[in-house]
Amino acid sequence: MKRIFAIALGILTAIGGFVDIGDIVANAEAGARFGIAHAWVLLVGVIGICAYAEMSGRVTAVSGRPVFDLIRERLGPRVALANLGGSLLVTVLTLGAELGGVGLALQLATSVNYLLWVPVVGFVLWVALWRAKFSVLENVFGLTGMALIVFVIAFFRLPADYGSLWQQASHPGPPTGEDWGTYWFFAVALFASALTPYEVFFFSSGAVEERWSTKDLLTSRINVFVGFPLGGLLAFAIMLSAATVFQPLSMSVDTLSQVAMPAAIALGKLGLAAVILGFFAATFGAAMETGLSAGYTVAQYLGWNWGKLRRPRDAARFHTVVLVSILVGVAILMTTIDPIQLTEYTLVFSAVALPLTYLPILVVANDRGYLGNRVNGRLANTIGVTYLIIVLAAATAAIPLMIITRMGGG
Amino acid sequence: MLIGFDLLDRQILDRDGEPVGKVDDLELTYDDTGTPHVTALLLGQEVLGHRIGGTLGRWMAGTARRLSGSADRPPMRIPIDLIAAVDSAVNLSVHRDLLPDPPLETWLRDHLITRIPGASHES
């Protein structure tokens, strides 16, 4: 059992990246419109986040310094401030969207409008971050989020046309009726969400919260190489089951209840219950991840005391940032903005932060002053540099694609 | 040691490994021959704001100055001889309690955080 809990950090981090509210819907929408022609994007995303999360876990375990410390040390206060601004905006907007996502999951279960749930969810989230132990939070929400595995089971119970699915996966491109612009918009969105900056901030800060040291390098690697592929698998299962159910009917998906449909069709009430539980845990887990990340990044940029391993009175500034972020998140949602669209907008701000996050990690992972003989090998550097180029390309393409395709609508 | 690369913007830890702040700027003193020597680490958002410069930097410095309570309060200063070692962080030889408390932390602790139930509990 201890072994299972040891990978909870990796699983929770991956859930925030791959199956948070925006991704749950984006994956299902991509599945319904394009089949599984975006399967390769998830694979590329999983490899990229694995490579960089492994580097940041290693840097943190060996040097004891979380990632945002290094960003300011290596890029200087000005560029790091630009990164802080960009990633904080992404993180807080995503936090708002996740609160809405938890509300939507509760709306599925109770038929009470999600907007009524949002303030309640915000309060419960704050209490959890104020009082609960870090390890309790990651164990409960990391493992409950795994209920989404029901999409994998559902897929095998559905009468799928394996031939045409294979055809879509092996010949990436838009089907008739869709254009390349929209196809690439979805590709960039799915890729960027796999590599959102708050994942590495949360993972490395979580490693400090769990007091990882050099002897935990193996734990760090297991977390990375089990957690993120598992997150990618859940995302893929959602895409796959949507492709099986909706694509043959040419139906589009844009609400959370439609995403749940394939599991309900294949497994009945029990399947639906598992999906709702999974949605709840995944979105609440992502809300925790983003709420804490907001506090982590600001505190680490300015050198403040931070973390759940201290009493709130000993990390007053950190807890104030977390509290304010949750309030801002709730306030954004209360404008009745669509939480699912909100996460798609965060992509634009991700564009600024992504390269500025991953470049310093790659630089420090090669610095013997920090890592001694545990610096990057040739494989890690090859993957690291390749992904830096992909990230730059995705960052440059994101905004034009968004405008051309009107957020993938065109 | 390159001060721009090995000292500036590093995390400062006290003798127990607790965070104190960042090396936001350095105090240089010139000796008789005109050679500069680093004599102290300077901390706080006010010095950081001056270093960042521009409108944003001025705004950061101004806000930090207003929050500190008095306009002419000097920045927090840690003499160089309190540094025990520099590795991935700047490690001090003293305990944090011997250094002045950051004003924003004190203010938020006294006015907001400790007024919420559970602030002093280990979680």
Among the partner residues A81, A133, A313, nearest to B109 by beta-carbon distance: A313
Answer yes or no: is the ipTM higher than 0.95. no
Average of pLDDT values for B68-85? 85
Q: Residue B59 pLDDT > 60, yes or no?
A: yes
Q: What is the mean pLDDT of chain B?
A: 88
- Rounded to whole angstroms, what are the CA distances from A42 to A152, A196, A213, A313, A358? 16, 13, 31, 42, 19
Q: In what order do the strands lie in the sheet with B36-43?
A: B25-30, B36-43, B76-79
Q: How far apart are CA A62 and CA B35, in angstroms?
A: 37
In this structure, are residues B91 and A63 in contact, taking their beta carbons and an 8 Å threshold?
A: no
Mark yes or no for CB contact B118/A130 under 8 Å. Answer: yes
Query: Does the residue B120 lie in any domain?
Result: no
pLDDT digits (tens, 9 = 90+) for A224-245: 999 999 999 999 999 999 999 9
Structure tokens at A19: 């199956």
Range of the domain at B23: 3-115
Q: Residue A351 pLDDT > 70, yes or no?
A: no
Would you call B45 an interface residue with chain A, using a CB distance cutoff of 8 Å?
Answer: yes
Cα atoms in the 13 Å half-sphere on the side-chain side of B123: 25
pLDDT digits (tens, 9 = 90+) for A40-53: 999 999 999 999 99
Q: How many domains does chain B have?
A: 1
Mark yes or no for CB contact A72/B9 under 8 Å. Answer: yes
Interface test with A, best of B105, B112, B120 (most A CBs within 10 A): B105
Q: How far apart are CA A236 and CA A244, in angstroms?
A: 12
Would you call B35 an interface residue with chain A, using a CB distance cutoff of 8 Å?
Answer: no
Q: How far is A298 from chain B (nearest CA, A)?
A: 12
Rg (CA), chain B: 16
Query: Which residue in chain B has the smallest CA separation from A68?
Result: B11
In this structure, are residues A68 and A302 in contact, taking their beta carbons and an 8 Å threshold?
A: no
Q: Residue A98 pLDDT > 80, yes or no?
A: yes
The one-character DSSP state at B90 is E
Query: Which residue in chain B has the smallest CA separation from A82?
Result: B56
Query: Does the residue B17 lie in any domain?
Result: yes
pLDDT digits (tens, 9 = 90+) for A286-317: 999 999 999 999 999 999 999 998 999 999 99
Contacts of A49 (CB under 8 A, 6+ apart): A14, A17, A194, A195, A199, A228
Q: Residue A72 pLDDT > 70, yes or no?
A: yes
Structure tokens at A96: 């708002």
Of the pLDDT bands very low, low, confident and very high (cuts 50, 70, 90), residue A347 is: low
pLDDT score for B93: 95
Of the pLDDT bands very low, low, confident and very high (cuts 50, 70, 90), residue A1 is: low
10 Å Cβ neighbour count for B79? 10
pLDDT digits (tens, 9 = 90+) for B86-117: 988 999 999 988 888 888 888 899 999 999 99
State the burial class of residue A159 (Cβ atoms within 10 Å of its Cβ: 0-12, 13-18, 19+): exposed
Mark yes or no for CB contact A77/B9 under 8 Å. Answer: yes
Average of pLDDT values for A50-74? 92
Of the pLDDT bands very low, low, confident and very high (cuts 50, 70, 90), residue B20 is: very high
Q: How far apart are CA A312 and CA A294, in angstroms?
A: 16
Of the pLDDT bands very low, low, confident and very high (cuts 50, 70, 90), residue A402 is: confident
CATH for the A2-404 domain, from 3.40.140.10, 1.20.1070.10, 1.20.1740.10, 3.40.1390.30:
1.20.1740.10
Structure tokens at B2: 């390159």
Of the pLDDT bands very low, low, confident and very high (cuts 50, 70, 90), residue A160 is: confident
Of the pLDDT bands very low, low, confident and very high (cuts 50, 70, 90), residue B85 is: very high
For chain A, which residues make up each domain, given as ranges? 2-404
State the burial class of residue A87 (Cβ atoms within 10 Å of its Cβ: 0-12, 13-18, 19+): buried
CATH assignment of the domain containing B29? 2.30.30.240
| Burial A300-333, CB ≥16 within 10 A → b, else e | bbbbbbbbbebbbbbbbbbbbbbbebbeebbebb
Q: What is the mean pLDDT of chain A?
A: 91
Of the pLDDT bands very low, low, confident and very high (cuts 50, 70, 90), residue A2 is: low
